[in-house]
Structure 1
Amino acid sequence: MQSFYAPPPSRGSEFASWLNSGAGRFLLFLTTIGSFILACVGLSFYASPGEKSGGENVSPRSQDEQFLILLATVLNISAFYSLPVFAERCGVGVFDANWKPYVHIYRIAFFFSIPALICISSGFGSDIQNASRIPGSNFQQLLTASKGDLNLVIGDYFIVSDMFVGLNLTKAVIKTLTVPNARGSTREQERRGEVFQMPTLYSETEYFDTKDALAGPPPPMPRDVLEHYAFAPIFETWRTCVTRYAVSSICMRENKLIGFVMKNSDNLCRRAGALGCSIEPKPKLNPSYRCTDPVNAVRGLETRLPITGLCGRVVLPPPQILLDEIVKRHIDDGWMLGESMACHCSKDGEGSKIACPDPSDTCKKIAPLFFVNADYDDRIAKTGDLESGWLLYQIAGGVFAFLTLFCVILTMLADCYVDRYLRAAAKYAT
């Protein structure tokens, strides 16, 4: 009489025999569990602004680091969903008639894992990426909550009643693949006091289009542009004089520049040094004010009236060379930035003499400059509504993740139980 179940698969080489053994299957189950847990952690933390300790972001992550974590997570997920194919060699297959019916539970785990990863990414991932709100309703309270330096809470967002962005003072800087054709100061020029800054990959470009018909068209952009940055200064409150295109020296002394709204247009292709892909020619700054008030919410480009109540998220400062370039341009215009920028300089002394003057006690009195992404963001304006949805995703993701791990562990325990009795039967037969 023919048995309903097919006989066990025949073993070939020594490695194939080891794979189709209890130890090989046990390693397969452990790999499945570990790979799934890593996928859940990666989808939750890949967009995290960094690791916090005592409320401070001790190691903020750049966009490149976040991309590498996401790439590693995608590769891990690809390896995870290829495990059922590899399981055929371990005796946990379903394509051939298998005499262990419980192995089908192992395959069911991969069906549960799909909604689990989607819900975990939408729930935990979105919640962690949004970080937390900086306590305070005005700039001074933000400084108090962040111990005097908003760069310690990179990734967190704020909603205040003051702070104004001077879009009329926006400057643009481009990063090129090669250094422009220019020379620094010669020794003879340095003796005469004529000092020129050495050229870098960053150079300023016109942000506003000229309206003078006699001025002619603006010079063309270089062909090797990799990134295009736009910066607009942030002031603690609105003043008439800072809304003018040409700001007087008296206005500069009376209104302290406390930070910058920053936006850059780049993509992965350009960041890798390839020039064949398109890039946004000019990033547009449009800060959001009173974002939590559906009636009085307004964008910076939509009004010319006195406006305060900035909403934004603290972001990583630009690279040190670009930071020097920004400082130099504003100092040339007459803004007093030297004492504030001394707090930004690294301990190893990097940076130009302009951006990094001798440190002094002034750093303890003047808050270091910070950089903000002030674009409208639903996660800031509608945090309360979104958090309830994230909670539902988190619960659903936790349930499906439990079912996934339960199916794998149940299969592993069943296989160990069957192998135990198979060894006992083989020992009895001999």
Structure 2
Amino acid sequence: MNLTMVGSGYVGLVTGACFAETGNDVTCLDVDESKIAMLNRGESPIYEPGLSEMIIRNAQADRLTFTTDKTAAYRDAEVIFICVGTPSDTDGSADLQYVLKVADDIAGVIDSLGPDQTPKTVVVKSTVPVGTSHKVRDLIRSRTKAPFHIADNPEFLKEGDAIGDFMKPDRVVCGVESEGAESAMKDLYEPFVRQGNPIYMMDVRSAEMVKYASNAMLACKISFVNEISRLCESYGADIKNVREGMCADRRIGNQFLYPGLGYGGSCFPKDTLAVCSMGRQAGLPCKLNEAVHEVNQEQRSWFWDKITAVMGTELEGRTLAFWGVSFKPKTDDIREAPAIALMKMAVAAGAKVKAFCPEGLEHLGTEFPPAEHAAGMYECLAGADALVVCTEWNEFRSPDFEKIGAMLSSKMIFDGRNVYRRQLMSELGFTYISVGRPPVLASNTGANA
């Protein structure tokens, strides 16, 4: 099948490469000429395990091409996926200007092909407020009498494991309102669900809501366990033990119930705010989702208060080393990353910050220029007074603690991801502050919290 992905960002590239992997002819369209030039050189503009290899393999097989030519990309496509960004406006609502501009461009090409063409299926894959796919449909209808189908197909891709999520999905959700759209979506996704995982065909508006409901629920679980972690500290309980006992209940499970610094990235913050915005527009305030967002944002400040309780509030002349800049492991995405928020607080308190991240440093210069980039995890520690662990990359899990202790001016680790064992930290003489667990205090640091 001939497919076009509009937008060669995270969703468009992963979707296009995976569809090409199953034999489809895929064109990735983008207005960014430098990005298309990079892709035509066989280089991926984003870091995602396995994606670069898949792009190169399918491009060499002529199943995956990249262009800035809108007319050529739309003209021969049987299915067009809209995968452009929907950033949050200042009030939290989704900005739909890019989605609607794409719809207008598609309408022009469909109209130029005339009424006798085989109807194309236009699929909204961007995460959009309920009713947006119908806005796309109505805009195209206002521009042409030529036939087409509309569908919504939300993505459920975890950054760092997106290839696996697409190739072996838990479920596929498709919002359709015509037999033509339903047939096209079933044909496209059939190769990915041969193990029996379901394809859910439903109405368009319900499909749009599935995406928001899913992400809002996951965000809720993260904020819930973080709030419980604060209570654990106040009452002398250990969130590790509490979590194990709670998650043994099969009704609760153990996914997305890890305490830490809160969620970040491009999805959960934006989608939670969009749900709140939809509630306000409907006159139905989403109080739970508003609280989820508030708890998440407060988690950074709460952890910073733990740092200043040990080091003091005036940090002029002090240096903090940060391990991990990306909002989660196995991605270079630093959007809404907790590490950035903590670095800003550190600089505001007068401290110097140094950072190392296996993949996130490339974007840090733009997002937060004051941070000094380190070439390696141990180089980051040189001249630092304390280490702050913000992302649980695998290479941070079993470090050389003797080397860490020797390089830091004080043996202090602030662990925002509960990577290390408290007993080990105590045996090694570190002051060790984590999330939802009693602190480990070493007398030689002068720590008093």
Instruction: Give the TM-score band, short-chain normalised.
Output: under 0.3
The higher relative CO (CA closer than 8 Å, separation ≥ 6) is in 1
Larger Rg: 1 or 2? 1
Structure 1 length-normalised TM? 0.22
